[in-house]
Structure 1
Amino acid sequence: MAAPDLSSAGTIPRRPGALGLVKRFLPRTLFGRALLIIVTPVVLLQVVATWIFYDRHWDTMTQRLAHGVAGEIAMVVDNFDRGTDPAERAETLRMAARHMDLIITFQPREILPNEPQRLRRMLERTLGDALDQRVRKPYTIDTRVAHEWIEIRVQMADGVLSVMSPERRLYSATTYIFLLWMVGAAMVLFAIAIIFMRNQIRPIRRLAAAAESFGKGRELAKGFKLEGAAEVRQAAAAFLVMRERIKRQISQRTEMLAGVSHDLRTPLTRMKLQLELFADMPEVEELKQDVSDMEEMINGYLAFARGDGTETPVPTDVNRLVREVVAGARRDGAVVDLHEEGTIELQLRPGAVKRCLSNLVGNARRHGRHVWVTAARRAGAVEITVDDDGPGIPVPDREEVFRPFFRLEGSRNRATGGVGLGLTIARDVARGHGGDVLLADSPHGGLRAVIRLPL
């Protein structure tokens, strides 16, 4: 079997390194990352402090306490070994109970089991090491005799010495206080950090929401103001200045084009009046047609340049708007099928969106015999789909047709191809709302145009 040719398969993907794997598990939001920056040093500090505490304080204190108890037991054992008089041994036990906080009893003729004992708890192992060093006799340790008590049984020559010691004598209560203080302080610090970070992140989120709203052609939310840290205020101020500049440029363009419209239409109107005074001749009819074409081209250019900058976004019933466009196309003799999926309401400029949809439906009915229009919600957006059964548009030309005055039909006849601004105006309107117009193959054999508007 021949080896596969990898040269045409593209570049072999590289495995992500350690840094890539770490980034995959890091939080993606600024709030999460900032909180991680604050929490990580605190957690590391707590871990190091806990390790040092257990390694030094806990271990040292436990060993000292265990050696203290083992030393007292060793003293009693030595006294028992020196004298066998029952009265002296009884006095030793009374003195131990009075001064050592130990309950010691002697069980004559008892023998410990001749089996090695397994010490499971750390406290038992520490006490066992101390007994090995101080007492040096066989012993057993039992922590299940009574609650908060430990029984140490030491094998003597003539019996077993039973020593009951409170557990508090073998460990320091400051351990739990220290751990409780560390955990409590950490939780308080985390709560304070979360509150402060939320207050710092909130202005950034509001700025992002304002930028997104402006990108969709909507007005800023009420109450937007400069707040937060100095850098966030600077970014918000720059955004407001940029917004005002863009609105001013749109207003100036609209005013300039209104003047151009008046200046161009006045001589065209005069020419039309003069042509009406001439006799009906073929040359005059051709001039009338040229003037009419020029007027149509100017109106189309002005509609494209004016855009939707002067219209205010309002809550709009998208289904009603689509039905109005379809009804207008049907009145003009078009065969249009309409399909609606649920109620759709969106903040938009109804006049501009209606012009956008009318251009797409007009193109579909111009090149096809049947048109299908669908309005529905799709993946966080509103999609209005216009299908036809016409010849469609070749894939290489689907981006070119959005250029102003670009026509697939080579002639300049408006009846066969328009002025080349319909799709340009449609995409300009959709992008002014933060959306887009996309072209694809229609399941009916022609072209599919999709207006996608974000919710």
Structure 2
Amino acid sequence: MSADWLKPYMPRSLYARAALILVLPVVVVLLVVGIAFLQKHLEDVTEQMTRAASREVLLVVGVMEGAETQQEALAAARTDMQSLSMTASFLGINEEPMIGQRRWYDFIAPRVEADLRALLPDIEGVALPSGQEARLYINTDLGLLQLKFDRRRLSPAAPHQLIVTMVFFAVVMTTISFLYMRNQLRPITRLAEAAQAFGRGRVVPYSPGGAIEVRAAGSAFLDMRARIERQMEQRTMMLSGVSHDLRTPLTRLKLGLSMLPEDEAAPLKQDVDEMQLLLDSFLEFSQGTTEGSPETVEPIALIEQIVKDACRAGHVVALVSVEGEGTIALRPTAMRRAVENLIGNAVRYGERADISLSITPKSMRIRVEDDGPGIPPEQRSEAIKPFSRLDPARNQNRGSGVGLGLAIVSDIARAHGGVLRLSKSERLGGLCADIIIGR
């Protein structure tokens, strides 16, 4: 049987789930022990004690039978009542029984009253107040008889003490367990924070701690982080080195082509320019996710500045909407490069670019829309791969590239712990590119 129906009701955090695993058995044990104690012990003992007290009451009432006056009845039963530690009196004609209020935690009183009414048919009322005294009101031929005796003869004294003791020590031990559990979960929380920060492009100090399994996971994370950093550094150095080393022969080619006739050198110069563009794209791709350190910035000010710079460059760019406010940890240079790449693609394949910014307590979304031909849904996942060119879909006549623009944006979004999503613009009809980053 599947337990998927239970998932929406389960807590999401590890601490809450551990607390549930800890508290639930304690509650179940308390309930089981409490119910078993009440049913198997208290009720049986109470029934026996109530039956014995009822026989004593019947003895006293039986002795009073045959008396002609109330005083004679009380005198006849005086010796028996002294032996049974009871006191008796008759209520007046207009006098009502004093039942009083029971203690709210006296959960055995209803059972005592039920047993007494079953064993004493002539009983009129049962008073089990908060004191130690019990009062029974019994109808007789001479009037309403009031009998007083010790409440402890009807049920065990303070039967709630066991439950109170159980609950008290359960709370104490659960509190101690919670404190210990928090110390055990703290290393897991530190590991999660370090992994989350690294996923967003930040390296925070972390040292493994806690149980053996948690230490093993922490050590594996540190090894993985070191390997990823080495791979990123090697990729950056390789691409930067290749781009740098090829600039010198390209410069010599340009110098040599400048000495040739224009009609002969023009096609070769075009090839050299394309190679130069390719090298610049390689260098930009290698530096895209590592340029700058994370800083706490105001996204609104950053986007407004990017829009102003794009407008000064002659592009039709507008900031159409801003929702929310606040700061977020970003690499400003890398994020600027990502937004500028999206704007460049938008104005290359369309006429205009509209930018919107949305900030919520959990995430930030930068949206760039254009009025170009867009990208078909089946090609959007391919479009963000490096060196992928979808010129037939994006109108090759409007511009050219090496297929790294969206790849750079996707890399920068992932370096910030976010994602790049492509869709169709509902406003302009072209491409809609969203950079979504968690806060």
Q: Shorter-chain-normalised TM-score: which range?
A: 0.7 to 0.9
Name the counterpart of 1:39.
23
For residues 256 and 424 of structure 2, what CA distance do their matches in structure 1 show?
48
Query: Which residue matches 2:77?
Result: 93
What corresponds to 1:238 in structure 2? 220
SS state at 1:21 partner = helix
Q: 2:416 aligns with which of 433, 436, 454?
A: 433
Confirm whether residue 124 of structure 1 aligns to residue 106 of structure 2. Answer: no
1:417 alignment partner, SS class:
coil
Alignment pair present for 1:420 and 2:403? yes
Aligned counterparts of 2:188 and 2:295: Cα–Cα separation in 1: 26
Letter of the structure 2 residue corresponding to residue 125 of structure 1? A
TM (norm. structure 2) is: 0.83
Are 1:149 and 2:131 an aligned pair? no
| Bigger Cα displacement from structure 2, 302-311 vs 50-59 | 302-311
Aligned CA distance change for structure 1 residues 57 and 377 (closer, same or farther; 3 Å): same
1:228 corresponds to which letter in structure 2? G
1:322 correspondence with 2:303: yes
Please, which moves more after superposition, 284-293 or 335-344? 335-344
AA in 2 matched with 1:273: L
Q: Does 1:191 align with 2:172?
A: no
Query: Could you tell which deviates more after superposition, 81-90 or 368-377?
Result: 81-90
Report SS of the residue matched to 2:3. helix
Cα distance in 2, alignment partners of residues 417 and 387 from structure 1 = 19
> C-alpha deviations, 1:190-243, integer Å up to 9, x for none?
3223222222223222222221111111232x6x43233222222122112211
1:6-405 mapped onto 2 (5 Å cutoff)? 19-77=3-61, 79-80=63-64, 93-105=77-89, 121-131=110-120, 139-144=122-127, 148-153=133-138, 155=140, 162-220=146-204, 224-276=206-258, 278-339=259-320, 341=322, 343-377=325-359, 380-405=362-387
Of 433-442 and 81-90, more deviation after overlay is shown by 81-90
Q: Is the 8 A contact 1:300 1:421 kept in 2?
A: yes
Q: Distance in 2 between matches of 1:439 and 1:275?
A: 42
Give the C-alpha shift of residue 95 in structure 1. 2.8
**CA displacement 1:256-311 (0-9 Å, x = unmatched):** 233222322222222222223x2323222222221121111112123223432253
Deviation at 1:348, TM superposition (A): 1.1
Give the partner amino acid of 1:219: V
TM-score normalized with structure 1 length: 0.81
Code of the residue aligned with 1:123 in structure 2: it is: V
Percent of pairs with identical residues: 37
Distance 1:243 1:420 in 2: 28
Contact 1:35 1:193 in 2 (8 A): no
**Alpha-carbon RMSD:** 3.3
- CA contact 1:319–1:340 (8 Å) conserved in 2: no
- Secondary structure of residue in 2 paired with 1:202: helix
C-alpha distance in structure 2 between counterparts of 1:51 and 1:375, whole Å: 60
Asked if structure 1 preserves the Cα contact closer than 8 Å seen for 2:243 and 2:282, the reply is no
Report the Cα offset of residue 106 of structure 1. 7.0
- Count of residue pairs brought into register by the alignment: 418
